[in-house]
Amino acid sequence: MAKQISVLGIITARGGSKGILRKNVKDLCGKPLIAYTIEAAKGSTFLTRCVLSTDDTEIAAVAKKFGCEVPFMRPRELAQDNSTSIDTVKHAVNWFRDNEAKEYDYIMILQPTSPGRTSEDIDASIKIAERTNADSVMSMKELVDMPAQKLKKIDESGRIVPYYEDEGKMTSMRQDLAKVYKRNCAIYLTKTALIMNGDLFGADSRAYVMPEERSIDINTPADFELAEFWMRKLGKCG
C-alpha cells in the first residue's frame, strides 16, 4: 500500500453472555471460540496491533494463551447488557493515549462471534479504507431468497409500496432486481476520530462483501451448531 494507515484491532469479549453461557471461551471444533478471531488478527499483514478488551479474567487468560495482548481490563460498567461497542472502544483509545501516548488512524472492532472471518478479510477491509479514505468499512453479506412479501420500497409521495409490483403472485424476475445486503458483524473498521465522536459509520461507509459460509454470527445455541457445520466445511475443525 502506498500510504500505510495505522489500525488498532480491538477484540470485544465481555464475560456476561446471556444467550450462550461462557460463549467466548466455549469449545468450537477443538478450540475456544475466541481463538479463531485471535488467529485471524495475528495472521493479518496490515493490522497494526490487536488487543483484547474484556472484564473477565478467564477470557483474558485464554486470549493470552493464544497470543493476544491484554494490556488492560475493561471496567465492569462497560460490560453490562446495555453497554455499547462505541463506549468500549473509546475506553481502549483513551487507555492507549493516556498510558502509551499512542493513537491510531482507524479502529477495527472484531467480535469473537464471527469465527469464519479470515486474515484475508481483515486485510481486504483495510485496503479499501486505505484506497478510498472512507469513514468506515463494514463487512457485509448478500441476502439470498429474501421473502418477497417483506421487501418494500417508498414511492415519490412517501408511501410504502411493495418492491414487487405483482405482490401476491410473486412472478417478478428477481434476477433483475438489485442485490440486497446486510452487515454480517465480522468487521467494523472506522476512523478513530469518528468513534470518539460516537459515530460508528460516518458519511462515507464502504462495503466489504463476504460469502455466506464465512458470515457466521453466533448469538444463539442454534447459531453455534450452524457455526460448527460451516467450520467443518471450511476445514477449520481438528
Q: Are 128 and 208 in contact (CB under 8 A)?
A: yes
pLDDT the model gives residue 191: 98
C-alpha cell at 238: 481438528
Using the predicted structure, report yes or no on whether residue 89 has a pLDDT greater than 70.
yes
Residue 173 lies in a domain: no
Distance CA 145, CA 177 (A): 12
- What single-letter amino acid sits at 174? R
For 22: left if phi > 0, alpha if psi spans -120 to 50, otherwise beta; the answer is left
SS3 call for 31 = strand
Phi and psi of 162, rounded to 5°? -60, 145
Domains in the chain, number: 1
Using the predicted structure, report yes or no on whether residue 158 has a pLDDT greater than 80.
no
CATH number at residue 126: 3.90.550.10
pLDDT-derived band at 152, boundaries 50, 70, 90: low
Tally Cβ neighbours within 10 Å of residue 177: 13
pLDDT the model gives residue 37: 98
| 33-42 and 57-65 helices, crossing angle to 10° | 50
35-56 pLDDT, tens digit per residue, is 999 999 999 999 999 999 999 9
Mean pLDDT, the chain, whole residue set = 88
SS3 call for 184 = strand
Name every residue whose Cβ is closer than 8 Å to that of residue 175 and which is 6 or more positions away in sequence.
Answer: none
Residue 222 lies in a domain: yes
Quote the domain boundaries for residue 48: 7-143+179-233
Residue 153 lies in a domain: no
Q: What is the pTM of this model?
A: 0.86
Using the predicted structure, report yes or no on whether residue 174 has a pLDDT greater than 90.
no
pLDDT-derived band at 1, boundaries 50, 70, 90: very low
Of 203 and 16, the one with more pLDDT: 203
Residue 171 lies in a domain: no
User: What are the DSSP E strand ranges found in 130-180?
Assistant: 136-142, 152-154, 160-162
pLDDT the model gives residue 150: 57
> CA torsion angle for 40, 97, 93, 2 (degrees, to 10)?
-50
Q: What percent of the chain has pLDDT over 90?
A: 68
pLDDT-derived band at 64, boundaries 50, 70, 90: very high
Q: Are 23 and 113 in contact (CB under 8 A)?
A: yes
Residue 111 lies in a domain: yes
Residues, the chain: 238
Identify the residue whose cell numbers are 440486497. Answer: 180
Residue 101 lies in a domain: yes
Strands 181-191 and 160-162: unpaired
Distance CA 105, CA 6 (A): 5
